[in-house]
């Protein structure tokens, strides 16, 4: 098999897809987290300020999802087809909630009636919560494995089978992580009494995440033996969970010193490291077949041709820096605190 810098092309594409979804989880993660807190704000002015904090960036954050989905389809079409067939219900729900979330942000301020604004506030908040939860549910099912036949086709019962205990726990943990991440982002964008109130949210968010993370990790250790195999065979990899622990522990320490910029960096690092653990758990598999492990989809039996991957690597080399430059430009332009007045963005 042809290689680039000693690494075969399917592995390169596995890394590209992982990097894009990590970027998406970090950037849209704080959007979802901010939305999940939305109904905890009692005043209309607080809700409007919180919405202004994410309004300039949430469209751009979803670019990472579109590109990530495109790279998955182009690089690993077999995996893409099987995953979307097996997880049809959560992906349809995800699509509906992402639509409702977008129109809630846009429609909310088009009318002044209280009932109108409250309706879209609820729609925005529920959509944000469900999007964070569903992302975790999909991830939990990928880690748990799904029944596949020898043609890599899903042979489960479908519909609500995806709601197993482990995937629900991963979904709740994802929501808790994004709520902590989102509270820190809102602290970077607000001031005054609203800032003080969000500090209280952050304390609750950190406690929620640490509790959810401990329960999910314990459940995985107790009931999903296959998740430990890669670490037992390569003990050096235990350094990654150790780094996750240190990164999580650093967030409350930095928050207690009001160093919210650094706390945001460490919640981002936590998200990235957790996805690195997922990558170690999976590689070279993309989707574990449970219980018939020989039917698992790997980066090799799911990959497009080497020629296709080589061409797409060229597009990534050009498009990747452009997306990063675009993201930097947007965040640099709208940097700073949001104020509740007409001249503030």
The CA distance from 290 to 31, in Å, is 34
pLDDT (average), residues 308-337: 88
Task: Dihedral sign for Cα 194, 247, 139, 314, please.
Answer: positive
What is the pLDDT at residue 158? 67
* pLDDT mean across residues, the chain: 91
Q: How far is CA 211 from CA 128, 137, 203, 231, 264, in A?
A: 21, 18, 12, 23, 19
pTM above 0.85, yes or no: yes
pLDDT (average), residues 33-52: 93
pLDDT band at 22 (very low <50, low <70, confident <90, very high): very high
pLDDT band at 57 (very low <50, low <70, confident <90, very high): confident
What is the pLDDT at residue 36? 96
Give which of 132, 139, 140, 141 is closest to 180, Cα–Cα.
Answer: 132
Q: Over the stretch 160-188, which tens digit does the pLDDT of each residue have?
A: 778 899 999 999 999 999 999 999 999 99
Res 159 pLDDT > 70:
no
Q: Over the stretch 214-271, which tens digit does the pLDDT of each residue have?
A: 999 999 989 988 888 888 888 899 999 999 999 999 999 999 999 999 999 999 999 9
What is the pLDDT at residue 25? 95
DSSP lists the bridge partners of residue 298 as: 285
Helix axes 165-189, 9-36, angle to 10 degrees: 70
């Amino acid at each position: 098999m042809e290689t680039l810098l000693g690494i075969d092309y399917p592995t390169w594409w596995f890394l590209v897809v992982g990097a894009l979804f990590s970027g998406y989880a970090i950037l849209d993660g704080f959007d979802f987290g901010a939305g999940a807190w939305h109904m905890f704000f009692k005043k209309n002015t607080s809700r409007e300020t919180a919405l202004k904090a994410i309004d300039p960036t949430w469209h751009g954050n979803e670019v990472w999802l579109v590109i990530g989905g495109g790279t998955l389809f182009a690089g690993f079409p077999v995996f893409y087809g099987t995953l979307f067939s097996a997880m049809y219900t959560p992906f349809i729900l995800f699509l509906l909630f992402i639509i409702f979330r977008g129109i809630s942000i846009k429609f909310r301020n088009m009318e002044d009636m209280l009932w109108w604004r409250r309706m879209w506030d609820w729609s925005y908040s529920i959509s944000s919560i469900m999007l964070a939860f569903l992302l975790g549910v999909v991830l939990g099912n990928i880690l748990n494995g799904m029944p596949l036949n020898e043609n890599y086709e899903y042979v489960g019962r479908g519909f609500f089978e995806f709601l197993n205990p482990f995937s629900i726990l991963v979904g709740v943990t994802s929501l808790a992580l994004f709520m902590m991440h989102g509270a820190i982002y809102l602290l970077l964008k607000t001031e005054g009494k609203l800032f003080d109130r969000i500090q209280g949210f952050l304390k609750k968010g950190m406690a929620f995440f640490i509790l959810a993370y401990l329960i999910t990790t314990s459940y995985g250790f107790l009931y999903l033996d296959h998740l430990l195999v890669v670490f037992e065979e390569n003990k050096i990899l235990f350094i990654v969970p150790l780094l996750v622990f240190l990164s999580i522990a650093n967030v409350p320490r930095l928050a207690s010193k009001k160093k919210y910029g650094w706390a945001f960096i460490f919640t981002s690092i936590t998200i990235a490291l957790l996805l690195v653990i997922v990558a170690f758990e999976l590689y070279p598999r993309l989707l574990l077949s449970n219980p018939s492990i020989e039917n698992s989809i790997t980066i090799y039996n799911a990959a497009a041709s080497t020629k296709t991957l080589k061409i797409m690597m060229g597009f990534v080399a050009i498009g990747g820096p452009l997306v990063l430059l675009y993201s930097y430009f947007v965040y640099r332009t709208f940097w700073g605190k949001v104020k509740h007045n007409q001249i503030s963005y």
